[in-house]
Amino acid sequence: MAFDREGVLWAGGELGQIYRIAEKGCVEEVTNIGGFCLGLAFSATDELFVCNPKLGCVTRVQKDGKSRLFADSAGNHKLKLPNYGVFDSTGNLYVSDSGDWSRPSGCIVRFDAQGRGAVFLEGPQPFPNGLALSADEQFLFIAQSHTDDVLQVEIRKDGTAGHREVYARGLERVPDGLAFDILGNLYVSCYASDNIYRVSCDRAVTLLAYDRDGTTLARPTNIAFGGPEHEYLYVANLGRWHINRVKIGIKGQALINQKI
């Protein structure tokens, strides 16, 4: 799930569907790329990139529905379970390769603006999932689904991974999606417990939303800010196949395609 430059919501489906969803909820299937769509991300040029674990690749999708393979490897690393991607302002695309569910075997790869890929963070990581960049792009944040935490990784000036530390703990259970607001608070959706946490800039963790019955929040995966002023938090729910939104009283941090 991701917003294009015009504020239109795009989402992926379990059979490779790519949907475009208008503000009033009108849904259009733009294309079908096969496989299973996970994380979506727009580049600075507003081109859509889709992580597809079933096909083991990242696919590039144009607004007219034409698609082509972007990458199935990063250097010598063959993508196993590409899960989520995020772009920085220079055109680098960071992608979580979650690895195996049963054991820590994931890593983070990065593709430069020319499409050349390499491993950014070796791992093995405990099922790295959703990603987010700090507003100054000095840190990459990674939802680690197996350890119920978020890892913060320094991005050095030469582009390599620097100091890393756990940024927030106790995010039960199975943290999946990440998104920042304009004040630097981090929002974390948890797949297995049907809830969303807010992590403040001083790393205080509070429960923002919880659905005991798992009906409105139903296996939430990705989250993203949208709306005319990024005033809504949108939530994709795999459990009941719907997207919901809520105003939380603060605007979201604009992503790279929304800043131009």
DSSP 78-110: EPS-EEEEEE-TTS-EEEEE---SSS--EEEEE
The label of the residue with tokens 């390599």 reads 160
| Residues 143, 176 contacting (CB under 8 angstroms) | yes
Structure tokens at 78: 């063959």
Confidence of residue 244 (pLDDT cuts 50, 70, 90): very high
Note the pTM of the prediction, 2 decimals.
0.97
Cα–chain-centroid distance for residue 255? 11
The label of the residue with tokens 């690895």 reads 99
Q: What pLDDT is attached to residue 54?
A: 97
What average pLDDT does the chain have? Answer: 97
In this model, does residue 192 exceed pLDDT 70?
Answer: yes
The share of the chain scoring above pLDDT 90, in percent, equals: 96
Q: What pLDDT is attached to residue 177?
A: 98
Q: What is the CATH number of the domain that holds 116?
A: 2.120.10.30
99-112: average pLDDT: 96
The label of the residue with tokens 């990459």 reads 140
Is omega for the bond preceding 124 within 30 degrees of 0, making it cis?
yes
Q: What pLDDT is attached to residue 23?
A: 78
Structural domain span for residue 181: 2-258
pLDDT per residue over 40-85, tens digit each? 999 999 999 999 999 999 999 999 999 999 999 999 999 999 999 9
Q: What pLDDT is attached to residue 126?
A: 97
pLDDT per residue over 206-228, tens digit each? 999 999 999 999 999 999 999 99
Confidence of residue 24 (pLDDT cuts 50, 70, 90): confident
Q: Is 258 helix (H, G, I), strand (E, B) or coil?
A: helix
- In 3D space, the residue among 91, 2, 99, 98 whose CA is nearest the CA of residue 42 turns out to be 2
In the chain, the number of structural domains is 1
In this model, does residue 260 exceed pLDDT 90?
Answer: no
